[in-house]
Structure 1
Amino acid sequence: MPTLKDQRRTEAAHRRSRMSGDARERAAADLAEWIHTCPFRLEYDVTVAAYVPVGSEPGSTAMLDALLDRGVTVLLPVVPEGDPAPLDWARYTGPESLAPGRWGLLEPTHDRLGVPAVRAASVILIPALSVDKTGVRLGRGAGYYDRTLIGLSADLVAVVYDDEIVDSLPAGDHDVAVGWVLTPGGGFQELG
């Protein structure tokens, strides 16, 4: 029997599947533009961990390139083989540095830096299907990010569409809450 989280994931995926390509492209452009007015310090000595959107996830490589334009080091996840575990990381230097990895996800082709590399990040942009007003994030369910984010001091930012901020979501003991959300229409918003 599906859990409440499973039901919420199915609903979110269905909503996203109904978005037009034009709407997703506009949202991606808006998200990239918000990087230029980010409330966090983004300069040459800062590291930001992010992700490459897949399918109907919000964003695009334009958001990653906007981070590079700010002069920061950008890390992207590399999904490890085997059962769900903390994510490995590698540097992003532009779209040409990406290649299909596990499950067809685009990953950096540069040398892997290891799981601890994410500790250098002061901001982490995280994919989500939904986030609630207290910072509970609904991911895809495998727990890669929750395993990765435990104990980090970085500002955690869930990236979602505007209608994916909800009043409440079910949370488990292992779920790591985020302190911020980034949406195409609202930009960076602090939660809690």
Structure 2
Amino acid sequence: MRTMKRRLRAEFEERRISRPIAVRQRAAADLAEWVYSAPFRLEYDVTVAAYVPFGSEPGSPAMLDALTDRGVTVLVPVVPGGEPTALDWVRYDGADSLARGRWGLLEPIGDHLGPDAVRAASVVFVPAYAVDKSGTRLGRGAGYYDRTLTGLSADVVAVVYDDEVVDSLPAAAHDVRVGWAFTPDGGFRRLG
């Protein structure tokens, strides 16, 4: 199964890299716009966990800005040092509050709130290479998000390109399923 997942990751990454920059930028703008019609309650007393897209991942900080524009508190992960474990979280205070962290990822500067901070979130946006119709998510493979999402009651949303919502993906026992796909053309789509 690991070999199959590794092969799929490489295929999806290659497709992402081959997308023209203009297409990626349009997709990022579309995702940010979809936030305003999200099927979730996004108001002043709501906490949302999200992430800053990296490399060829769909989206941009504009999606985070759209969330804060809705009045919600946005938490963004910080990858802890050492072996893979649950992610740490910091409040997002705009694109100017981001700096390069581990592996060159953009991470927020601020007080670390700890791995349990994500439990306050009612919606969690997660990166994925692909998601299938039953909610199986294909991530990068280190397991940070599976460790983070275990036991959460939040709505978990995989952010992918439209052609990355597929019929089926291989799943291991520890893989945490997501309930939603979020795509540039289709917006929010319930899975399972």
TM-score (norm 1): 0.99
Aligned-partner SS, 1:75: strand
Q: What root-mean-square deviation, in Å, do the aligned CA atoms of Structure 1 and Structure 2 show?
A: 0.9
| Structure 2 residues not aligned, in runs of 5+ | none
**Cα shift at 1:2:** 6.2
Match of 2:85 in 1: 85
**Cα shift at 1:16:** 0.4
Using the alignment, how far apart are the partners of 2:55 and 2:78 within structure 1? 17
What is the one-letter code of the residue matched to 1:126? V
Runs of 4+ in 1 over 3 A off after TM superposition: none
Q: How many residues are paired up?
A: 192
Using the alignment, how far apart are the partners of 2:16 and 2:108 within structure 1? 26
Superposed CA deviations along residues 137-170 of structure 1, whole A, max 9, x for unmatched, are: 0000000000000000000000000000000000
Q: How does 1:94-109 map to 2 (within 5 A)?
A: 94-109=94-109
**Does structure 1 residue 190 correspond to structure 2 residue 186?**
no
Using the alignment, how far apart are the partners of 2:54 and 2:180 within structure 1? 21
Using the alignment, how far apart are the partners of 1:79 and 1:190 within structure 2? 28
**Does structure 1 residue 111 correspond to structure 2 residue 91?**
no
Q: How does 1:1-192 map to 2 (within 5 A)?
A: 3-192=3-192
What is the one-letter code of the residue matched to 1:95? A
Aligned-partner SS, 1:30: helix
Superposed CA deviations along residues 11-50 of structure 1, whole A, max 9, x for unmatched, are: 0001001000000000000000000000000000000000
**Cα shift at 1:10:** 0.7
Using the alignment, how far apart are the partners of 2:72 and 2:17 within structure 1? 33
**Cα shift at 1:3:** 1.0
> Are the structure 2 counterparts of residues 111 and 191 from structure 1 closer, same or farther at C-alpha, using a change threshold of 3 Å?
same
What is the one-letter code of the residue matched to 2:139? G
Using the alignment, how far apart are the partners of 2:80 and 2:24 within structure 1? 28
What is the one-letter code of the residue matched to 1:175? D
Superposed CA deviations along residues 58-114 of structure 1, whole A, max 9, x for unmatched, are: 000000000000000000000000000000000001001101111110111010000
Query: What percent of counterpart residues are identical?
Result: 70
Using the alignment, how far apart are the partners of 1:30 and 1:102 within structure 2? 28
